[in-house]
Amino acid sequence: MKRFDMLKSVRPRTGSGVVEALPSTSFRKNKGALRQAQRERWLAFALGASLFATAPAAAQTIAITGGTVALGDGSEPIPGGIVVVRDGRIVAAGRGIAVPAGAQIVDATGKWVTPGLVAGFSRVGLAEVDAVDGTNDIQANNSPFSAAIDVAPAINPKALPIAVNRAGGVTRAIVAPGTGRSIFAGQGAVIDLGADMNPITRARAFQFVEFGETGSRDAGGSRASAHILFRNALREARDLGRNSGIPAGPGGRREARANDQRDFPLEDVPNNALLGANASRPQDVLLTRFDAAALVPVLQGRQLLLVHVERASDILQMLALRKEFPNLRLVLVGCAEGWTVARDIAAAGVPVIASALTDLPNTFEQLASTQSNVGRMKAAGVHVSIGMIDDEESRQVRLEKQYAGNLVAVGRLPGATGLTWAQALESITSAPAEAIGLGGEIGSLRPGRRADVVVWDGDPLENGTAPVLVLIDGVQQPLDNHQTKLRDRYRSLAPGDLPQAYRR
């Protein structure tokens, strides 16, 4: 992360080295009070000064004091807690922690402090307008490639939804491509939503594949075709690896981690045996050499495989594939009927990134949908987090906090199963980070994690609260975006100052 110099939600106390938060407004249930709260919050933004103007990002020590601290790991909130950040990492978080000498203080009294939200499944940064092809890089309908596609070069950190969702407290996102002419969509990335031009946290973090109704469509019209295409693709990858002298499959498992940004793209790997002239292949293969090579790390267990399935029978079929390909590191996405086979998912130890509030039979693969789905899977021991597949996932991932809050409310309904408050926050912070293999880096306020920290003006799972301070890698981020700029431009204009189009 590059350093962003303007802190616009806190200001230094005159004549001291202490930084105190500007007063926030509490949420009121009437619209007039809410609008006034928004005005005051953004006025504080506009009048603020720089917290970090006197110290380089690599040498900062920041202490956020007095707030209700939620670690994001499933533990209960800590009133009057302290979070200490140094050099872009969390040093300590909890109660009774000593504030380091010389630390810059953010007074969060009356506020809440949490990890930044992690969008469990998204396409943020890949599209501006879905219907305008020139702004939409989600899928490549006419490309000869599928599994080899890497979304990282297509991420646009200046895409308007990035700033909008950052202002909603989202600091990281799991970004997946969409399928074009194959069940394999390509390789997704984990990104940050910082205000700089370096968004990639981990490139080629996973391979994404569609099963169920979408997969059957992409495979020619049936689930049977989708399964044989999938098994054939993995076998072609296995054969390519064997012919190249690189073991893949049983006995060939390597280090169980996803590729990161330090790994070369396939075409740039020096002397890559998978792409060399000596890597012979049969004449009847269906995959391009690049696509087959891209699936070799999946077979080796070095790259995660995210699979979109909704129907219970499709979920069980995916779990059964590990009998043939035991090194697969699966993560299930969607899982509307997951609660009906939750014990099987839990026994397999496969994480789930679920849609939070799917409760209608919108398709024939979602007939058993219920708002208790996430709660029931959690109760059965499934490692479950919240994603937004097929639900405004390229623009409105900030709604995950609202969904998490709704799951708390679901638990209060007679006969329903929801989440506790701590579990709900976990489902949008550390749980998706752990599912994608980055639990030791992001998603919580545990020591050593990246300092993605959000200070909220109230309970973060309440719909009327908003961030007053966002740090990504310990760097303060702007909270304005095109929506707030348009609002501020036009809400107070005198009639004579209106643009010509508004005078008619």
Q: Domains in the chain and their CATH numbers?
A: 10-115+451-490 (2.30.40.10), 205-279+287-435 (3.20.20.140)
Extract the runs of DSSP E, i.e. beta strands, from 70-166.
78-86, 89-94, 104-107, 112-115, 117-122
The Cα 301–Cα 486 span in angstroms is 48
Residue closest to 171 by CA, chosen among 191, 154, 155, 197 = 191
How does strand 170-175 pair with strand 184-192? Answer: antiparallel
If you average pLDDT over every residue of the chain, what do you get? 83
Q: Residue 52 is which amino acid?
A: F
Read off the tokens for 306.
């995210």
For residue 235, the tally of other CB atoms under 10 A from its CB is 17
The Cα 188–Cα 173 span in angstroms is 10
Of 169 and 24, more confident: 169
- Express as a percent the part of the chain with pLDDT over 90: 66
For residue 41, the tally of other CB atoms under 10 A from its CB is 19
For residue 340, the tally of other CB atoms under 10 A from its CB is 19
Work out the angle between the directed axes of helices 223-243 and 312-324 (0-180°, nearest 10).
20
Write down how long the chain is: 504
**Averaged pLDDT, 196-204:** 96
For residue 294, the tally of other CB atoms under 10 A from its CB is 28
Residue closest to 118 by CA, chosen among 404, 421, 410 = 404
Structure confidence by residue, pLDDT tens digits, 449-464: 999 999 999 999 999 9
Read off the tokens for 348.
């397999």
> What is the reported pLDDT for 502?
54
How does strand 200-210 pair with strand 184-192? Answer: antiparallel
| Phi–psi pair at 289, nearest 5 degrees | -60, -40
Place of tokens 């809440």: 112
Read off the tokens for 492.
């107070």
Q: Which helix (H) or strand (E) holds 192?
A: strand 184-192
Q: Residue 255 is which amino acid?
A: E
Contacts of 198 (CB under 8 A, 6+ apart): 1, 2, 157
> What is the reported pLDDT for 154?
96
> What is the reported pLDDT for 501?
65
Stretch among 31-35, 297-301, 337-341 having the lowest mean pLDDT:
31-35
Contact 318, 330 (CB under 8 A): yes
pLDDT surpasses 80 at 398:
yes
The Cα 259–Cα 251 span in angstroms is 20
Of 133 and 343, more confident: 343
Structure confidence by residue, pLDDT tens digits, 121-161: 999 999 988 788 888 999 898 899 999 999 999 999 999 99
**Averaged pLDDT, 289-317:** 95
pLDDT surpasses 70 at 259:
no
Indicate the pLDDT class of residue 327, thresholds 50, 70 and 90.
very high
* CA-to-CA separations, 441 to 115, 147, 169, 261, 303, in angstroms, rounded: 12, 26, 18, 14, 17
Q: In DSSP terms, which residues pair with 355 in a beta bridge?
A: 387
Contact 400, 406 (CB under 8 A): no
State the Cα torsion 442-447-450-455 to the nearest 10°. 90
Work out the angle between the directed axes of helices 289-300 and 223-243 (0-180°, nearest 10).
90
**Averaged pLDDT, 323-333:** 95
Cα angle: 141, vertex 203, 434; to 5 degrees: 110
Place of tokens 């002419």: 181
> What is the reported pLDDT for 160?
95
* CA-to-CA separations, 55 to 81, 86, 90, 202, 451, in angstroms, rounded: 25, 12, 18, 28, 17
> What is the reported pLDDT for 39?
41
